[in-house]
């Protein structure tokens, strides 16, 4: 297992244990990016927030697609 796999596994474990906090962090990061860019990339930031939130939501389910890498 590479170092990055280990880091990813730890991050996924933390997201499974604290999904509300992770969602809040995603929202704050998106708001920060919008603020720093003057809202020029708000559509892309919103898409990124949505995809990150969907990924975190999927961690709680029985989705086995992560093991196929």
Is 43:36 a contact under the CB 8 Å cutoff?
Answer: no
Residue 2 maps to a domain: no
Residue 52 maps to a domain: yes
Residue 6 maps to a domain: no
Whether 58 shows a pLDDT value over 50: the answer reads: yes
* Average pLDDT rounded to a whole number, residues 33-55: 95
Residue 44 maps to a domain: yes
Domain containing 41 equals 15-59
Question: pLDDT, tens digit, for every residue of 3-31?
Answer: 989 998 998 998 899 999 999 999 999 99
Give 69's pLDDT tier (boundaries 50, 70, 90). very low
Residue 1 maps to a domain: no
Domain count, the chain: 1
Residue 4 maps to a domain: no
The radius of gyration of the chain's CA atoms, rounded to the nearest angstrom, is 14
Residue 49 maps to a domain: yes
Whether 54 shows a pLDDT value over 70: the answer reads: yes
Name the maximum alpha-carbon separation found in the chain.
40
């Amino acid at each position: 297992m590479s170092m990055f796999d280990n880091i990813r596994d730890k991050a996924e474990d933390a997201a499974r244990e604290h999904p509300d906090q992770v969602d809040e962090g995603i929202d704050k990061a998106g708001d920060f990016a919008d603020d720093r860019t003057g809202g020029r990339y708000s559509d892309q930031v919103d898409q990124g927030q949505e995809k990150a939130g969907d990924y975190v939501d999927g961690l709680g389910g029985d989705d086995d697609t992560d093991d196929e890498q």
